Amino acid sequence: MITGLMQTVFNDRAAAIAAVAIPIHPTSASSIADSVDHLYYFLTAITLFFTFAIFTTIFFFMVKFRRRSPDERPADTKTHLALELSWTIIPTLITVVIFVWASSLYFENSRPPEAATEIFVVGKQWMWHIQHPEGVREINELHVPVNAPIKITMTSDDVIHDFYIPAFRVKKDAVPGRYTSLWFQATKIGTYHIFCAQYCGADHAEMIGWVYVMSPSDYAAWLSGGARNESMAQTGERLFTQLGCVTCHVADNTGRGPSLVGLYGHQEKLRNGDSKLVDETLIRQAIVNPNSIILPNFPPIMPSFQGQINEEQVLQLIAYVKSLGAEERKTNGK
């Protein structure tokens, strides 16, 4: 009982201390967080060193060379070329070190691993719409498994937003009309902030959410829990039929439009002679502004679907087209 009481007192103390203590370090919960922090500490050390060096030099000079009589006339100091060159060249070398370090880290952090699971995010004044490939959809909440690479592909329905998870040290703008992406691998089970870090209007500060990092088994349970959803590709296929895409884009290439089987991930020659990689951005463009990317041998007759379907539905259609590509690769393999 005494220990219990002590426990309570201790907890209260700890809570009280935590309440007044000034936080100085953010939680780090991703595979890149520590390496970003190391660079941050190095830069902090450089900043402190130079600030301290300049402050102490100035204070020393201020005291040592203070004016002792009003008619004092100190002699000229000659300009010192070696000194000028050294305080030009040494800082330059230091910045080269920082540049190489920061850039190589950024390169590493920019490339998602091949095996990453892709999750889709649409920013919208003032909420985050999130879709998992398995079809589960959530708002302002993102459930991910721990220790698994996750690629977030995002766009916006209206203005520019920015998807920011401080604990993971990742951030990227969600820009209307194009896809951007970031990736992370969460390393600690827990709950972390999602912030919108690009000012987006009245409730910008309320456009926040939580990432739930779960153990793989909890995540699997969460995915299968609740109403049974169809996958994003399946929803996309349903849309493909509902919107009538299927009447022209016939799989055996006998329709008025090209067959979409196997298109994803290929370089395609366009009517105007350009060769373009069929990726998410190109498929989106083909849906909202079809006549800008016409394949040879097909007439420019496809209507635009801009305004008729939202960004989440576009993503579902893309997931469906991507699944067609995967099917073909499987068939080719056989």
Partner 1 sequence: MSTTVIPEMPGQEIPAESRVNYLNASYGVKSWLLTTDHKRIALLYLGSITLMFFVGGFFAVLMRLHLIEPQGALVAPETYNKLFTMHGVIMVFFFLVPSIPATLGNFLVPMMIGARDLAFPRLNLLSWYIYIIGAAFTLYAVISGGVDTGWTFYTPYSSTFSHTSVIPTALGVFITGFSSILTGLNFVVTIHKMRAPGLTWFRLPLFIWAMYATSIIFILGTPVIAITIFLLGLERLLHIGIFDPAIGGDPILFQHMFWFYSHPAVYIMILPGMGVMSELITCFSRKRVFGYTFVAFSSLAIAIISFLVWGHHMFVTGQSIYAGLIFSVLSFLVAIPSAVKVFNWTATLYKGSISYDAPMLYALGFIGLFTMGGLTGLFLASLATDVHLNGTYFIVAHFHYIMVGGAVMAYLGGIHFWWPKITGRMYPDGWARFAALIIFVGFNLTFFPQFVLGYLGMPRRYAVYPTEFQVLNVMSSAGASILGIGYLIPLIYLLWSIRYGPIAGPNPWGAKGLEWETPSPPPTENFEQIPVVTEDAYDYANVGGSRG
53-92 residues near partner 1, rule: CB under 8 A: 54-55, 57-58, 61-62, 65-68, 70-77, 79-80, 83-84, 87-88, 91-92
Question: To the nearest whole angstrom, how small is the minimum distance from the Cβ of residue 1 to partner 1?
Answer: 33
From candidates 6, 12, 50, 244, binder to partner 1 by CB under 8 A: 50
Integer-rounded Cα Rg, in Å, for the chain is 28
Question: To the nearest whole angstrom, how small is the minimum distance from the Cβ of residue 55 to partner 1?
Answer: 6
- Residues numbered 205 to 224 that lie near partner 1 (CB under 8 A) are 205-206, 208
- Single out the segment in contact with partner 1 by CB under 8 A; choices: 1-9, 39-47, 221-229, 253-261: 39-47
Q: Check binding of 24 to partner 1 (CB under 8 A).
A: yes
Q: Check binding of 158 to partner 1 (CB under 8 A).
A: yes
Q: CA-to-CA distance for 83 and 313, rounded, in angstroms?
A: 64
- Single out the segment in contact with partner 1 by CB under 8 A; choices: 48-56, 219-227, 252-260, 317-325: 48-56
Place of tokens 């070696």: 82
From candidates 22, 82, 115, 227, binder to partner 1 by CB under 8 A: 22
For residue 87, cis peptide bond before it (omega within 30 degrees of 0): no
Q: For partner 1, which is the closer residue by CB, 125 or 229?
A: 125
Dihedrals phi, psi of 99, to nearest 5 degrees:
-60, -50
**N- to C-terminal Cα distance for the chain?**
70
Q: CA-to-CA distance for 239 and 71, rounded, in angstroms?
A: 89
Task: Tell which residue, 322, 292, 274, 303, has the closest CA to residue 177.
Answer: 292
- Residues numbered 81 to 140 that lie near partner 1 (CB under 8 A) are 83-84, 87-88, 91-92, 95-96, 98-99, 101-103, 105-107, 109-110, 125
- Single out the segment in contact with partner 1 by CB under 8 A; choices: 40-48, 140-148, 245-253, 259-267: 40-48
- Residues numbered 241 to 280 that lie near partner 1 (CB under 8 A) are none
Q: CA-to-CA distance for 4 and 103, rounded, in angstroms?
A: 52
Q: For partner 1, which is the closer residue by CB, 10 or 106?
A: 106
Q: Check binding of 203 to partner 1 (CB under 8 A).
A: yes
Q: CA-to-CA distance for 318 and 232, rounded, in angstroms?
A: 9
Task: Tell which residue, 156, 189, 135, has the closest CA to residue 310.
Answer: 156
List, in order, residues 6 or more apart from 323 with CB less than 8 Å away.
Answer: 233, 236, 237
Question: To the nearest whole angstrom, how small is the minimum distance from the Cβ of residue 83 to partner 1?
Answer: 7
Window 167-196: contact mask with partner 1 (x via CB under 8 A): x-xxxxx-xxxx-x------------x-xx
Q: For partner 1, which is the closer residue by CB, 70 or 333?
A: 70
- Single out the segment in contact with partner 1 by CB under 8 A; choices: 142-150, 164-172, 212-220, 259-267: 164-172
Beta bridge pairs of residue 28: none
Structure tokens at 79: 């300009």
CB atoms < 10 A from the CB of 188, how many?
14
One-letter identity of residue 81: L
Q: Check binding of 39 to partner 1 (CB under 8 A).
A: yes
Q: Check binding of 20 to partner 1 (CB under 8 A).
A: yes
One-letter identity of residue 18: A
CB atoms < 10 A from the CB of 298, how many?
14
One-letter identity of residue 67: R
